[in-house]
Each structure stands twice: as C-alpha cells, then as structure tokens.
Structure 1
Amino acid sequence: MSSIRFDPGTAADWPEYNGGSDKNHYSALTQINPQNVAQLKVAWGYQSGGADTLKNTTQMQCNPLIINGVMYGVSAGSQAFALDAASGKELWKTRLNDQTFNMTSRGVAYWSDGTEGRIFFGYGAYLYALNAKNGQPILSFGSNGKINLIDGIQRPGADDYVVCNTPVSVYKNILIVGTRVAESATALLGDIRAYDTRTGRKIWTFHTIPRPGEYGYSTWEKQNYQNLGGANSWMGMAVDTKRGIVFAPTGSAAFDFYGGNRKGDNLFANCLLALDANTGKRLWHFQTVHHDIWDRDIPAPPNLFTVTKNGQKIDAVSVLSKQGFTFVFDRVTGKPLFPIEERSFPASEIAGEQASPTQPIPLGPEPFTRQSFTTSEVNSFTADRDEIIAEVRKANTGQPFIPIGYQRTLFYPGTDGGAQWGGAAVDENSVMYVPAKENPVYSSLVAIPKEEDHQSLKSGKQLYLTHCGACHGENREGNHDGTYPGLQNIAVKYDEAGIRQIMAKGRGMMPAITQLKEPEIQAIVAFLNGKNTKIKTKNEHKLSSSPYRHTGYNRWYDRNGYPVSTPPWGTLTAIDLNTGKRRWQIPLGEYPELTAKGIPPTGTDNYGAPAVTAGGLLFIAATKDQQFRAIDRNSGKILWQTTLPAAGYASPSVYAVNGKQYLVIACGGGKLKSKSGDKYVAFTLP
C-alpha cells in the first residue's frame, strides 16, 4: 500500500457517507461494466469483530469510506477501524473502553486540512476525533478527544439517551451534527449543532423545536420546547459545498403517535431544512408531514443533483418519504419542481388529538410504492385469507394519513417505509434508484390510566407495557420478523444483571432506558422473570408524559411468515428526476421456496441502499435473502448475484486502488431473524 496522504483523491475514492456530500451513492468508475460483471470474484474478507453470540445479536449498517487506498469503517462491536483497501489488512482499530455499550453505526466522517487527517466517529453519546493514521483520539479536540452530545439538549423531565450513529457532515472546518434520541415522551431535544473540526468548540445551534421569538414557535403550544423532544436529524445530511448550504431532514416530535399536547403543525419536525452551513441560519424549509402522528420521519439523507426542465438546468435537492413519495425542490429558493397539493384527510377519534386537516401530496415524481391497503390487496396465496380479509374490513385503512385510533389502524407502506434509512442513489443523468418495501403494519392507541394525586400503585406489567410493550409486544411475544425480539424466555438467556445492562445501555435499535427510578427498573425486571409486583410511584415527569401508549409496530404476516399483502413486498425503482416518470421497477429479493413453487420473485423486506456507477451498473445487497446483486441500471435486469456470509443490510462502497476497481459491503445481518455477522467482503475482477 502507498503511504497515507491526507488530500482526498478523485473518482478512485468513496470519501463520504453515501459516496459524497451530495449523498448520491455514485461512482464515476467504469472498469466493472455489464460486459464483465459476471466475472466478479471475492478480493478479500475482513472479520471486523463483535459478531453475535447466543446472548448478543449484532448488526452492521456501515457504509465505509475509502480515501487514498485506506478504508475506514465500524465493526459489529461498534469499534472504528482502518484497512488497506486493496488487501483488507487491518491498519488500526479502536479499543474504546466501554465494552458493555452496543449500538448500530452507519459509518464515520473524514476531514483533512492537507497536512493531517481526522476520522470523526460517533460512539454512543460521544463524538470522537481520531487520528486517521493510527486511530488514537486527538486530545486537543473537545474534552480529551471527544464531545458529549447530551450537553445542550437536556430539558426538564427528559431521559439521557442520545447517540450519533449516522456520520456527521463536514463543510470546510465545520462539523454539522444530528443525533438519534428516544421516540418516547421523555426524549431529549433534537437540536442540530455545528462544531469546529480542530477544537470541538460549538459554532452554532439550530432549534428544531423553536424557542419564544424564533420562527415557527407559533406552530406549537407554548413552552413545548420544555416539555417535548425529538424533531431530530438522525438520518444524515447533504451539503452543497459550492453555496455553503446544508440540507438537514428531521423526524417527528416525540411521542410519535400522539400530539394532543403539541397542537399545531409543529415546525421544524418532519422538515427539509436548508441552513447556512457557516451560521445555522434558516434559508428555507418544507414540511413533508404536518403534525406527525404516524412516525413519518423523513427516512434518509437528501440527494443533490441537477435536472433539466423546459430546457433549463436547475440545481435540485430531494427527500424521500416513508409513504413512497419523492419531494423535489430548487436547491436555492426551495420552490417545488413538481406540483405539491394539500389534500384533506380524516380527523382523529382520539380525545384531545387535533390532526392536521391536510397533508402535502407531491403530484410528481410518480410514487415508488402503492399508497393504500384494502381487502383487494390481500395476497391471493396467503394462509388464512378469509380471516385476514375479515380483519382488514374491521380496520381503519384504505388511504394514507388515517390517524391512529382505538382500534386497529393500518400503515401502508409500513411504519419504516416505503423508503428507509438507506436512501436512494442518483446517477450523472439524474436518474434515481430507490429501494422500498410494502408490508402492512398495524397498531392502535391505548389510554394510560390517570394517576391520582400524582401518586399511584403500578405493577411491573403496567411499567413494561408503558416502556417496552410497543416494541416487544403486549405479551412479550416480539414481532414476527425478529426486528423486536420476544422476551417471554428472556430469563433463559440473561440473568438479572444482564437484563439491567441492556436496559441501561441499550442495544442495536433499542435506546437505553434511563428515565426510570430503581424501583421501576426492579419491577420490570421482576415481571420479565415471571413476577408481577406492584410499587408506589410518583409522577415526577409530568412535563414528559403522554396519556396514551401505542400497541406496537405489528408487521402483518400470515402464519407461514409471509406478508399478507399482494407482492411485490420489496422493490427497486428507477425514476427519471427530469420528468418525474418511472423508468422501471423490479421486485428486490425473493423467497427461494416460493420461487420453487412457480411463484414469481416477490421481493423481500430490505434495509440498505444501492451504489450506482458510470459503468452502467447498480450494486445492492439489502435483502433478507442474503444476496448481493449487480443490476443493469438502464433495464433493471439482474446481471450477477452472489450469496453473502450474512445479509448485507448496508450500502456498498465503490472505489479503486492502483487502477483496480473494487466494491465492498458490510455483511452484518441481525435483522429480520437473519443470522448476525461481522464480515466485510470486497469484490473485484480477476
């Protein structure tokens, strides 16, 4: 390997998360093309460490960087590392000392001033600055090499859960940081913040829940910034480096499914924000969901590209939605490049709730998923079809944005997409390639009994339902695909100390539960071990409470484990962003046992995104079936595929070293009941 340089290269590199500051997952390399892609072979594999044991299911969602022949990534055990990108040989790996901490990281960020290189790595609540040569913390940054990201986003009654698991954005000598916070009523504030790359000094803060006197304050109830959290930018940002504009998407305010305590449109939740990267000043915004009570976060980073409309070239920015829409705007003015219509939707039946009477619906580009689920969409070969149809008839369903009610309410596409965190690739012709899924999900709201005199007896079961049941199920059954594991036999895998550790530290998608007092934790642990004790509790967090809890993210599968909707269940769609028209759509993934029965490929649930190249190819893993595919970007035809050591729920990176082109994918598995792994696999031509 050549000596490390600190100036990012050209087309040979993959220098930022999702390929570049435009977040287009695009490589200009052409060596691998439709004529030779079938010859791809494994170049190397790297066992990153931290894979599953019987007690620890892990994931890897990392999109690694490659800069001047060095690959930077994150292991299944949440440690940053550097490799020789041509051989897979480890150059360094962190040994951060909190070995009990577990999180899912999507990668790292890189900065250089030409004389030194730094890796910025989110590890739990901390943002580390590491020396790119050796991985050692740079002690002059922040406090001994790190910043504690909880500082400045606390509020009365909030918990202390915050992680930085999506890479930060870099503009000149500025780090622009969004975070993941809890989605419960006790969530921290979702402020977007900027720091100096050298010192860690805070430069600016943008309040996503405005303070008095700030723009947008009137779209909330008074003082909501003190009693609500969320509206955070967890999904990653794009930067127009020429203009100095950072495009920051945001998610919903917490609690996700009830907004009776935050009446109004709730700016800047569910927004695409265009901010001055130097100052944090708002330049323009667009809200994709008003007063979100569906957990309809913008799910992925924006894409930056140039379109041609009426013979005129326009620099554009787009964001995807979980509902299957694409919103496209003029990058400078914020003007929509396709019409957006405010349409009426039903009112809420929940006492105290005031759903927005309208929601914005883009008339272009064409949606990349179906928009509603009715009895006519029930799969013809699903098991128990008559019973499922009867349940659909009783449910709240049939259109988007039906407020969640007291009875079963259907989300379609599901609660995590449509589009999801992997986002979309865009090529040099402004054709977008977006993976999506279409699995019906149901839930409802249940009233939490009012506490008298702010003090009451609560059972361990009640506490479990309030703090754990939405994900792990009312009866501790988990959900069918294993995204949220069942807890009915948890005592077989964990002793009391192990359960407490997971509650205190979090794991994967699960946030740490830090807002509870010791007696409450003790009662939940006892309940999980089969004892339903009662304790006396005080409502000390009245500012951070909700009168309702939801009954979970229940993906609807039949008894054989297949979605009850008509396929495709996972798709890959090519959309011409100049015209807004689809070019093609294919099922993404398959169930081999169904294909063997003569059923055409159905597509599967998927997590991750594609990489697209100037060589005419699109590479994507993402699917439950553990495959890695090369697809002709012009036709959607699958040209090559191979089985990975574990499912690649991540986005691939494309790069070159010494004139030879490679692609690499993190094979972490761990979701959808698939086995976990910790291996990165790189491919190249013979």
Structure 2
Amino acid sequence: MALHQTPGRAGDAALVAMSLLAGTLLTSSGASADEWPMFGRDHTNRHFSPLATIDRSNVGKLRPAWIFQTGITGYFQAEPVVVDGVMYLSTTQNHVAALDAKSGRVLWTYTHKARTEKIFGPPSNRGVAVSGGKVFEATMDGRVIALDAKTGKVLWDHEAVRPEEGESETASDLAGKLGAGAVQGSSRLGFKMPPLVAEGLVIVGVAGAGYGLHVEDEKGGLDGGAVVGIEGGYGRRGWLAAYDAATGEERWRWYVTKEDGWEGGFVEKTADGVPLNRDIAAEKAAAPEHRDAWKVGGGSLWMTPAYDADLGLIYVGTGNPAPQNFGLSRPGDNLYTMSLVALDVRTGKLRWYHQQVPHDEWGYDVASPPFLLDYTTPQGPVKAVAEASKTGWLYVHDRATGALIGRSAPLITQKNLYAPPTETGTVVSPGPLGAISWHPVAFDPAANTAYAQVRHGATTYTVRTVPGAPGKPPIRFTETSEAKGEPSFSTLTAIDLAKSGAIKWSVKAGSRLSGGTLATAGGLVFSGEEDGHLDAHDAASGEVLWRFQCGAGIGGPPITYSLDGRQYVAVAAGGASFTKGSGFGTGDALVVFSLPE
C-alpha cells in the first residue's frame, strides 16, 4: 500500500536516535515505554503499555502507593497523563493538578472558573493533553485552555462556544409539558474528550449536540427513567475543530451534519448488510418539510481521535442525530452522524466515512475511541483502524480508504436490532447505553487481541404523544426504559483480531464495568467496576488475579507508568452519572498502585 509521507518523519527518527543515546527506551510510536504521555498512551489509542514489571506472577501483591483526593466528589472520569515524572490530571469541574508521579506531592493546581452554569450533563472531564511545555484542556463551558506545564499559569484561553447559544427550549420548559418530574439535559455544547495534539494543533470536538432529556426514576437514577427525543427543531450541529497550540486561534472546523445532501441515499440496510426496518416512503414524503433539519442535526463527538502521521489522517466517531430517538422530523440517512470518519489533520477535510447506523433511532453513538492496528487479511497485513460499537460488533477498516475489512463476532446477544420504536413499546438489545459506549478498548498488538468492557441489556422504546401548548400541535417523543425481565450484566471480553474477530474469552463481572481497559506486556488486563473494584485479569484466560476496592465507582481508564524501575498503575475512582441511586457511592480519589519495595 502506498502511503503519503508527511513532513517531519525524519525529525521523529532523529528524536528516537537521540533518546536511545540518552538511555531512554522509545516504542515504535515514539512514546517512552516508561511514560503515559497522552490519552491512549500514544496516537494509536491502543491503551497498551510495554511495561512488564507487574505481571501474572506478582500482581497479587499490588497495593496502594499513594492517593490524591481532588476535594470534589463525583463524575471523575479522567485519564491521567505522565510526562517527565509529572502526572497531569483534570478533575470534576475542569480543575487541573500537576503531581509528582512518584509520591503524589502536589506541584501546582489550576482552579477553573466557568463562565456559565449552563453546561451539558454532569461537569465531568476525561483528561488533558500535554505537549511542548503546555497542558491543554477543553472544558464543559466551551473553552480550550493552555496552561504552563511547569507552573499551571494560563497561557491562553479561547472561548470556542457558549453552551447556551442557540438554545430552542430547555429541559425545565419541557418538563411540565411531558408531565415529568426531575428532568436533566438540554441541547448545549461543551467539551468532554481529552484533546489530541498533532501537527502543532489542538484538536477537540463538542458533546451535547444530540438533544435528549433524561428523566429520573423513583430511585433518583437515570437508567430506569427515560431518554426522550422530541419531535421538531431541537438540537445543535456537532463539530470538531483545531486550534493553534501556540496561540489558541482556530485553524479549521469540520461540521458533523452535511449541509448539502445529509439525507444520503435513504438506505434500507447498514453498510454491513443488516436491515434497518425503515419506512422509506414516509421519510421521503416528510423530506420537503424538513429540508433544513441538518442545521440542528446533532452529532456529538465523545472521545479523542486516533492519528496516523504517515497518512496525515485523524479518525473519530460521531454521535446520534437530533432529535434523539425520533426520526420523522429528520428524514434520510442523517450524514455524517453515527459514523467513523477520517479527516485531514491539517485542514479538517473529510477523506472518508463509514456510517454504522443510518437514520439512528436507538442512540447508538460511535463513541468509543478508535484504535490503530495492523490487520491480517488473506491478501496480507493492512494498516487498519478499529472501532468498537454500541451495536455489539467491533469493526475494522482500511485506514487509507475506509473500506470495511473485518467485523467481529457479536459481543452480546442482539434482540430486535434496528426494530423501530412503537406506541406499544419495542424491546431492543442493546439499548442506548450500548454494548460498548465511550469507554476505551485496549489492544495488545503482540497478542492481536482487543479487550472490551461489554454491557449486556435490553431497552424498551415507546412512542408517546402528549398535548402541546395552547394553539400548538401535540408533542411526540420516544421514551426509553429498562426492559423488564431481560438479563442485565457486564462482561470483560477478549476479541481475537488475528482470527476474524472471534471471541477468545468472556468473563462476567460482579457489577457494571466502567471506565475502559488497560492491557500490558505483563500479560494483564486492568478493568474497573461501578461498585469500586479495580480488577486485574490474566490476558490469556480472563481469570481475575487481583482486586482492590477503591471506595467509589471507577469512572476513568486505568493507566500505567514507571519511575526509577518501579511500575505504577493509576485510576480515577469518583463514580459516574449512573452511580446516583444505584447503591454505589461517589468519591474524589485518584488511586495509584505499585508492588512493595
């Protein structure tokens, strides 16, 4: 395969040579084996570390080395970054701390002052990026910020979007109309993903574009309530943008919803051949009335792109169209929502896309961060990008062309997949939480195996109609609720990507899995649970070799790094939005483990 060679690769080779002379081991991606310098550890997004000091034989001796408490309880989903012996960590409400990665001693802190209280969802942040002596953070109140990595001083602060700009109606306005109690959510834009830094650019995308109301159940939780898609012009237009790392100036912006032709081809099946059960005639009849639906068409971007420097491409997943779960007011395929897309890193121009779910009505965002791999085909190895889906498959694409070259075995028992919501209620598995949501999937390139936290469960989708305001038409929406009598559990599942996506093993967890996975060359897979346990599994068999109760639900992906020959494992334990009413508490701790000295 001919690859486009981008400038700067010779410089990378020189960097590797200099590092070797200095005694620092670099991996093929250019990242030091001892560090965790960015989200996913390197631009491949594999969440894999070549460290092996902690292995199957001694992981049972793992113990806390130090704990950092943020002082703010709840929604702690960040993945730490470790560079030159310093750990950088974003916390709830977008505060940032720099810590001595060996002792946990605080070096500096940044206290974020939001410019608006109107944000999308809980005030969680999933991590920072560190590059060129700067720490970059994208905030829930719509700002991209650069801090001095040595002092925490603000170097620039760019307001990318005001979350409340363009709101059509708020959750509280609609709550009375729907006869609902406590309602959360609105069509507001903010940032959740850790930024990607590449080619001197800070790249980040907005969340909150796909309108939805989350109605609390009697326990105060969200899963037993409803996710409501309102018919009409509710929603925002999602986008990904690049900012100059030196100045914060915007360099390019790519919008998820396609201005010209977002209806697509009104396809009857997914690209991998699964029937969508669409009423194409009804959609085409409604199209003239809703020709401008793309302007509020949704498409959130949840997690950090993967980056191929040789091709000059970034790969990112897009979220659901708006209005959420209700499709007649947005006829067509709704391009480019629910897709894996490849964009030119320097310009933001679309190179290719693969839409997993055209005209989505189930909330199947392409949310988990994609990862890069070399994929074996009958014609030989192919440079590939993989995406784990909410629908229950892991897809593999040619990185250069987007061609679908592999699909795993189903990771869950699918039921009535793509059956449309009805007035009597339709039970579908998986539901909007998906098989695999935003949580990162770890990939071990030597074993050719991916390790995923998989949620098993079904949802009932019901179309409801309530009277509108005086002189206004009735309001129609789709309500979701947990399907009664259907099994609900999580598994840690190993997927063999050397054998056409066969499942190697699958281990049922004691509570719902969350945060994502970490794989290491020590033959281990680390995975967190909502009940507060961090587990270490044997990567070959799935056997649990070690568990530790962290005191609150694991909300973020675990990482590992090494200092002075000693390997550490770190994870955020603060619970998450689903913890409320579940019986499991929230917390504020980053827990760091090591073997006894």
1:121-520 alignment runs, 5 A limit = 121-138=138-155, 141=156, 145-150=157-162, 154=166, 161-184=188-211, 185-212=233-260, 223-224=291-292, 227-310=295-378, 312-338=380-406, 364-372=407-415, 399-429=416-446, 430-451=448-469, 453-454=471-472
Residue by residue over 1:168-188, the C-alpha shift from the partner in whole angstroms, topping out at 9 and shown as x without a partner, is: 222121122211124325322
The letter for the 2-side match of 1:135 is G
For the structure 1 residues 160 and 260, does the alpha-carbon distance in structure 2 shift closer, same or farther, using more than 3 Å as the test?
Answer: closer
CA distance in 1, matches of 2:138, 2:148: 11
1:90-101 alignment runs, 5 A limit = 90-98=106-114, 101=117
Equivalent in 472, 476, 482 of residue 548 of structure 1: 476
For the structure 1 residues 188 and 677, does the alpha-carbon distance in structure 2 shift closer, same or farther, using more than 3 Å as the test?
Answer: same
For the structure 1 residues 313 and 192, does the alpha-carbon distance in structure 2 shift closer, same or farther, using more than 3 Å as the test?
Answer: same
SS for the counterpart of 2:151 is: coil
Displacement after TM superposition at 1:551 (Å): 2.6
SS for the counterpart of 1:260 is: coil
In the alignment, is residue 627 of structure 1 matched against residue 530 of structure 2? no
CA distance in 1, matches of 2:298, 2:423: 24
The letter for the 1-side match of 2:507 is P
Contact 1:9–1:68, Cα closer than 8 Å, also in 2? no
Equivalent in 137, 140, 146 of residue 120 of structure 1: 137
Contact 2:80–2:87, Cα closer than 8 Å, also in 1? yes
The letter for the 1-side match of 2:369 is P
CA distance in 2, matches of 1:193, 1:97: 23
SS for the counterpart of 1:316 is: strand
Residue by residue over 1:605-656, the C-alpha shift from the partner in whole angstroms, topping out at 9 and shown as x without a partner, is: 22211100111111111x2332111111111111111111212122101111
Please give the root-mean-square deviation of Cα atoms over the aligned residues, in Å.
2.7
SS for the counterpart of 2:408 is: coil
Structure 2 match to 1:682: 592
For the structure 1 residues 151 and 665, does the alpha-carbon distance in structure 2 shift closer, same or farther, using more than 3 Å as the test?
Answer: closer
For the structure 1 residues 166 and 549, does the alpha-carbon distance in structure 2 shift closer, same or farther, using more than 3 Å as the test?
Answer: same
For the structure 1 residues 105 and 88, does the alpha-carbon distance in structure 2 shift closer, same or farther, using more than 3 Å as the test?
Answer: same
Contact 2:95–2:112, Cα closer than 8 Å, also in 1? yes
Displacement after TM superposition at 1:405 (Å): 1.0
Residue by residue over 1:188-227, the C-alpha shift from the partner in whole angstroms, topping out at 9 and shown as x without a partner, is: 2102212211112221122221224x78778776643564
Contact 2:91–2:124, Cα closer than 8 Å, also in 1? no
CA distance in 1, matches of 2:31, 2:45: 17
Contact 1:121–1:130, Cα closer than 8 Å, also in 2? no
Contact 2:50–2:521, Cα closer than 8 Å, also in 1? yes
Residue by residue over 1:229-250, the C-alpha shift from the partner in whole angstroms, topping out at 9 and shown as x without a partner, is: 3112223321112221011211
CA distance in 1, matches of 2:292, 2:372: 33
Contact 1:306–1:316, Cα closer than 8 Å, also in 2? yes
In the alignment, is residue 74 of structure 1 matched against residue 90 of structure 2? yes
Structure 2 match to 1:104: 124
CA distance in 2, matches of 1:202, 1:124: 17
Contact 1:235–1:421, Cα closer than 8 Å, also in 2? yes
1:478-627 alignment runs, 5 A limit = 547-552=475-480, 554-556=481-483, 564-566=485-487, 569-590=489-510, 604-621=511-528, 623-627=529-533
For the structure 1 residues 438 and 160, does the alpha-carbon distance in structure 2 shift closer, same or farther, using more than 3 Å as the test?
Answer: closer
Displacement after TM superposition at 1:296 (Å): 1.1
Contact 1:584–1:636, Cα closer than 8 Å, also in 2? no
Displacement after TM superposition at 1:583 (Å): 4.3
Moved more, 611-620 or 17-26: 17-26
CA distance in 2, matches of 1:50, 1:566: 34
The letter for the 2-side match of 1:444 is T
Q: Where does structure 2 lack aligned partners over 5 or more consecutive residues?
A: 1-23, 171-185, 212-232, 267-286
Contact 1:433–1:573, Cα closer than 8 Å, also in 2? yes
The letter for the 2-side match of 1:18 is G
Structure 2 match to 1:505: none
Contact 1:153–1:189, Cα closer than 8 Å, also in 2? no
Q: Percent identity?
A: 28
CA distance in 2, matches of 1:10, 1:227: 44
SS for the counterpart of 1:38 is: helix
Residue by residue over 1:22-52, the C-alpha shift from the partner in whole angstroms, topping out at 9 and shown as x without a partner, is: 111111111111111111111100111112x
For the structure 1 residues 609 and 276, does the alpha-carbon distance in structure 2 shift closer, same or farther, using more than 3 Å as the test?
Answer: same
For the structure 1 residues 160 and 329, does the alpha-carbon distance in structure 2 shift closer, same or farther, using more than 3 Å as the test?
Answer: closer
Residue by residue over 1:392-451, the C-alpha shift from the partner in whole angstroms, topping out at 9 and shown as x without a partner, is: xxxxxxx20110111222231232111111131101233111111112222312124355
Residue by residue over 1:537-578, the C-alpha shift from the partner in whole angstroms, topping out at 9 and shown as x without a partner, is: xxxxxxxxx9422334x2246xxxxxx3347x1111111112
Displacement after TM superposition at 1:453 (Å): 4.4
The letter for the 1-side match of 2:111 is R
CA distance in 2, matches of 1:644, 1:39: 16
Structure 1 match to 2:53: 31
CA distance in 2, matches of 1:314, 1:204: 30
- Give the TM-score normalised by the residue count of structure 2: 0.79
For the structure 1 residues 660 and 308, does the alpha-carbon distance in structure 2 shift closer, same or farther, using more than 3 Å as the test?
Answer: same
CA distance in 1, matches of 2:111, 2:162: 22
The letter for the 2-side match of 1:175 is V
Residue by residue over 1:31-87, the C-alpha shift from the partner in whole angstroms, topping out at 9 and shown as x without a partner, is: 111111111111100111112xxxxxx221111111111111122453111111111
The letter for the 1-side match of 2:160 is N
Contact 1:618–1:631, Cα closer than 8 Å, also in 2? yes
Contact 1:21–1:238, Cα closer than 8 Å, also in 2? yes
For the structure 1 residues 659 and 153, does the alpha-carbon distance in structure 2 shift closer, same or farther, using more than 3 Å as the test?
Answer: farther
The letter for the 2-side match of 1:424 is V
- Give the TM-score normalised by the residue count of structure 1: 0.69
SS for the counterpart of 2:40 is: helix
Structure with greater strand percent: 2
CA distance in 2, matches of 1:176, 1:149: 15
For the structure 1 residues 300 and 615, does the alpha-carbon distance in structure 2 shift closer, same or farther, using more than 3 Å as the test?
Answer: same
Residue by residue over 1:302-359, the C-alpha shift from the partner in whole angstroms, topping out at 9 and shown as x without a partner, is: 1111122226221111112112111111101111113xxxxxxxxxxxxxxxxxxxxx
Q: Where does structure 1 lack aligned partners over 5 or more consecutive residues?
A: 52-57, 339-363, 373-398, 457-545, 558-563, 591-603
CA distance in 2, matches of 1:267, 1:578: 32
CA distance in 2, matches of 1:156, 1:49: 35
Moved more, 96-105 or 607-616: 96-105
SS for the counterpart of 1:193 is: strand
Structure 1 match to 2:15: none
SS for the counterpart of 1:254 is: coil
Displacement after TM superposition at 1:301 (Å): 1.0
For the structure 1 residues 224 and 19, does the alpha-carbon distance in structure 2 shift closer, same or farther, using more than 3 Å as the test?
Answer: farther
Matched length: 503
Equivalent in 668, 681, 684 of residue 574 of structure 2: 668
Residue by residue over 1:247-277, the C-alpha shift from the partner in whole angstroms, topping out at 9 and shown as x without a partner, is: 1211111111111121111110111111111
